[in-house]
């Protein structure tokens, strides 16, 4: 879109290129390949001399529409859609880094992201150093001549820690390092990392972009120069978003601004209520003034987002895990699942689910205690969510 429109308008209108049939809603192209007029056109398409679709592993009109819409919302030159959020991180690393390179990443990443960067990527010759998300001195100290990428997730999962994106970008660029930001928790509605200096944005479209827990998908966004090797990896490796999933995500993007506003409003209400409950030891939510990075979060985010985590205070004779599990098991309305970003509120115990494959020592170092509970606040009425947490009242 060439004109400067408001975010709500971009979310509805960007990427919509009707076919000759004039449809008002994006079409879905559920086909594997595309025909050419002749052999010369086929050769031109494959060489890149002529734009156009070839094969849905790397070119599909529905996927392109999703990529164009999300790129417009993030303010990116190009978006590469992938099969899942984790494949987006994989494509990002494989596109930017080479054997022997070094990555500095936050130790407060989603558990599977830590597994990918350490247990898997290190086997293929990448060195990875994990540091505090919020301590810039640790990032600076971790830089080596081979450091190629900084990788962060802000706010973090599940403690909603917030890093100074602009300060980290400045540090990275002084050393010719690329900063990649996982923007899954905020989406471009709440936070725009590229505008703050980041080079790459990564999404799990499975979460808020879908918004109703239906499909898996991911995305990597940035400049055309940085996305070229990411796209080349996708074209050969086939970590491809399906056309059907792209169509679902297109519909999700249309309502993303109003949904994120509602998620954040209800999350703030729940977080405020949780702080007043005697069985809650501590609440983690960027929208609360008690959050250690509250001021920073309010500078680079439009609101606190939809994720609330808290430590449950054990009763006499209970362990921290027993107290957390008892609270979760007593819920009747909130869905017990590790997914997030759904219209339905979800609740999980990170230490034994999303972060269970990380050692206990590593979990504790990142602040994930056995009594920690994470709620991804959906679109239900906040008073019904509060009533469902019966063991806290």
pLDDT of residue 14: 85
Neighbouring residues of 190: CB distance < 8 A, sequence distance ≥ 6:
260, 264, 301, 302, 303, 305
Residue 19 has pLDDT above 80, yes or no: no
Neighbouring residues of 292: CB distance < 8 A, sequence distance ≥ 6:
134, 161
3-state secondary structure of 266: helix
pLDDT of residue 226: 98
Q: Are strands 218-222 and 200-204 parallel, antiparallel or unpaired?
A: antiparallel
Residue 119 vs residue 168, higher pLDDT: 168
Greatest distance between any 2 Cα atoms in the chain: 78
Which candidate, 233, 248, 208, 249, places its Cα nearest to that of 379? 208
- Binned at pLDDT 50, 70 and 90, residue 151 comes out as very high
CB atoms within 10 A of CB 346: 19
Q: What is the rounded distance in angstroms from the CA atom of residue 271 to the CA atom of residue 8?
A: 27
Q: Which long-range contacts (CB under 8 A, 24 or more apart) does 257-262 make?
A: 257/7, 257/8, 257/11, 257/189, 258/8, 259/208, 259/211, 259/343, 259/379, 260/187, 260/189, 260/190, 260/208, 260/303, 260/305, 260/306, 261/189, 261/303, 262/379
- Mean pLDDT score of the chain: 94
pLDDT of residue 363: 78
**Mean pLDDT, residues 342-369:** 86
- Binned at pLDDT 50, 70 and 90, residue 393 comes out as low
pLDDT of residue 3: 64
**Mean pLDDT, residues 153-161:** 96
Residue 240 has pLDDT above 90, yes or no: yes
The token pair that represents 247 in the structure block: 């169509």
Question: What global pTM score does this model have?
Answer: 0.94
**Mean pLDDT, residues 245-257:** 97
Q: What is the dihedral of CA 17, 86, 96, 135, to 10 degrees?
A: 120
Neighbouring residues of 123: CB distance < 8 A, sequence distance ≥ 6:
none
Q: What is the rounded distance in angstroms from the CA atom of residue 106 to the CA atom of residue 129?
A: 8
Starting from the edge strand earliest in sequence, which strands make up the sheet with 335-336, in order? 280-284, 307-312, 372-376, 346-348, 335-336
Indicate the length of the chain as a whole number: 393
Neighbouring residues of 297: CB distance < 8 A, sequence distance ≥ 6:
155, 162, 286, 287, 291, 304
- Binned at pLDDT 50, 70 and 90, residue 358 comes out as confident
Radius of gyration of the chain (CA): 21
The token pair that represents 183 in the structure block: 């923007």
Find out whether 14 and 68 touch, Cβ atoms under 8 Å.
yes
pLDDT digits over 261-301, tens only? 999 999 999 999 999 999 999 999 999 999 999 999 999 99
Which candidate, 181, 207, 206, places its Cα nearest to that of 305? 207
Fold exhibited by the domain 257-392: 3.90.1150
pLDDT digits over 97-112, tens only? 999 999 999 998 888 8
Q: Where are the domains of the chain?
A: 7-252, 257-392
Find out whether 117 and 148 touch, Cβ atoms under 8 Å.
no
**Mean pLDDT, residues 148-175:** 97
**What class, spelled out in words, does domain 7-252 have in CATH?**
alpha beta
**Mean pLDDT, residues 234-246:** 97
Which candidate, 4, 353, 381, 5, places its Cα nearest to that of 157? 353
The token pair that represents 103 in the structure block: 């990555």
pLDDT of residue 391: 76
């Amino acid at each position: 879109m060439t004109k400067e429109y408001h975010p709500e308008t971009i979310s509805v209108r960007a990427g919509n290129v009707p076919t000759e049939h004039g449809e008002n809603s994006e079409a879905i192209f559920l086909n594997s390949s595309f025909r050419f007029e002749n052999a010369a056109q086929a050769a031109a398409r494959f060489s890149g001399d002529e734009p156009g679709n070839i094969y849905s592993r790397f070119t599909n009109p529905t996927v392109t529409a999703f990529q164009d819409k999300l790129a417009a919302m993030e303010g990116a030159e190009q978006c590469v859609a992938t099969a899942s959020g984790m494949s987006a991180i994989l494509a990002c690393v494989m596109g930017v880094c080479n054997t022997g390179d070094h990555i500095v990443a936050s130790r407060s990443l989603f558990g599977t992201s830590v597994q990918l960067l350490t247990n898997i990527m290190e086997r293929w010759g990448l060195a990875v150093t994990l540091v505090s998300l919020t301590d810039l001195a640790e990032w600076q100290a971790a830089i080596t001549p081979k450091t190629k990428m900084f990788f962060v997730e802000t706010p973090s999962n599940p403690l909603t820690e917030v890093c100074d994106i602009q300060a980290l970008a400045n540090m990275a660029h002084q050393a010719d390092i690329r900063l990649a930001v996982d923007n899954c928790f905020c989406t471009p509605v709440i936070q725009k990392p590229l505008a703050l200096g980041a080079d790459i944005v990564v999404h799990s479209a499975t979460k808020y972009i879908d918004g109703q827990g239906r499909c898996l998908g991911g995305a990597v966004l940035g400049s055309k120069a940085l996305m070229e090797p990411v796209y080349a990896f996708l074209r050969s490796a086939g970590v491809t978003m399906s056309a059907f999933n792209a169509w679902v995500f297109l519909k999700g993007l249309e309502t993303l601004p109003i949904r994120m506003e509602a998620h954040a409003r209800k999350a703030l209400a729940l977080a405020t209520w949780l702080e007043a409950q005697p069985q809650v030891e501590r609440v983690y939510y960027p929208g609360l003034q008690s959050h250690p990075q509250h001021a920073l979060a309010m500078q680079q985010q439009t609101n606190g987002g939809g994720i609330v985590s808290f430590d449950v205070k054990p009763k006499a004779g209970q362990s921290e895990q027993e107290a957390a599990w008892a609270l979760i098991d007593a819920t009747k309305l909130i869905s017990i699942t590790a997914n997030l970003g759904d219209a339905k509120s979800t609740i999980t115990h990170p230490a034994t689910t999303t972060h269970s494959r990380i050692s206990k020592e590593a979990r504790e170092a990142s602040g994930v205690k056995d009594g920690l509970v994470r709620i991804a606040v959906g679109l239900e009425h906040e008073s019904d969510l509060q009533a469902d947490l019966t063991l806290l009242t």
